[in-house]
Every structure is written in C-alpha cells, then in structure tokens.
C-alpha cells in the first residue's frame, strides 16, 4: 500500500473548493446541495425541494458537472464529492441542511 502524504481533510478541502468554483449562483448551490443529499436527483425533486415552477435548467446544469453521473433513476454525485458537500453544508449551515434533507 502506497503512503499518501495528503491528509484526508486537505483532500476534502481541495475537492470542496473545486466543486464550489463551478457554482455561479445561490440557486445552483441549492440544487447541488439537494443532489448531494438525495439518493438520486430528478427535475421533479429539484422543483419540489427548491419550490420552483421549472427546474429543467438546474437539472441540466447538474448533469453537466464532471462529478455528477446520470443513472436510470436520475442524477447522483460521485461518492467522495457527495461526502464533501454533505459535510460542508452540515457544518456551514445546519439549518439549511435540515431544511434540504427533510425537504420541509
């Protein structure tokens, strides 16, 4: 097993910075947070969670991200990116985390 000189929290911090560099506005950040917390993300979920009339543009934006994959049931982030985004939101804004996670 090779020695990795980069501590995991540093890797997480670097990944988080990279992910958040692609988020141009608040609504896209919220869509990314929903995607990180949901098992899979659909346009319907985004529309309901963010209380929008139309979420197609956000769904297509998420789909274009290099760390988001499309599956049979919807979109989902790579596991490491999901963990990093989840931990950041839970730490940075616990109320938003609860709101997004519960969908209330």
**pLDDT block averages, 10 residues each, the chain of length 104:** 52 68 82 92 96 97 92 93 82 80 55
Residue 22 confidence (pLDDT): 67
The domain made up of 24-102 has a fold known as Arc Repressor Mutant, subunit A (1.10.10)
Which residue in this structure is represented by tokens 């596991």? 79
Residue 7 confidence (pLDDT): 46
């Amino acid at each position: 097993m090779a020695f990795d000189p980069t501590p995991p929290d540093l890797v997480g911090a670097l990944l988080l910075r990279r992910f958040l560099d692609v988020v141009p506005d608040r609504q896209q950040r919220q869509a990314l947070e929903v995607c990180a917390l949901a098992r899979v993300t659909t346009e319907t979920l985004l529309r309901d969670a963010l209380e929008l009339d139309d979420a197609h543009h956000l769904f297509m934006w998420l789909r274009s991200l290099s760390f988001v994959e499309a599956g049979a049931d919807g979109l989902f982030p790579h596991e490491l990116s999901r963990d990093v985004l989840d931990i950041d939101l839970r730490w940075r804004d616990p109320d938003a985390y609860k709101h997004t996670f519960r969908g209330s």
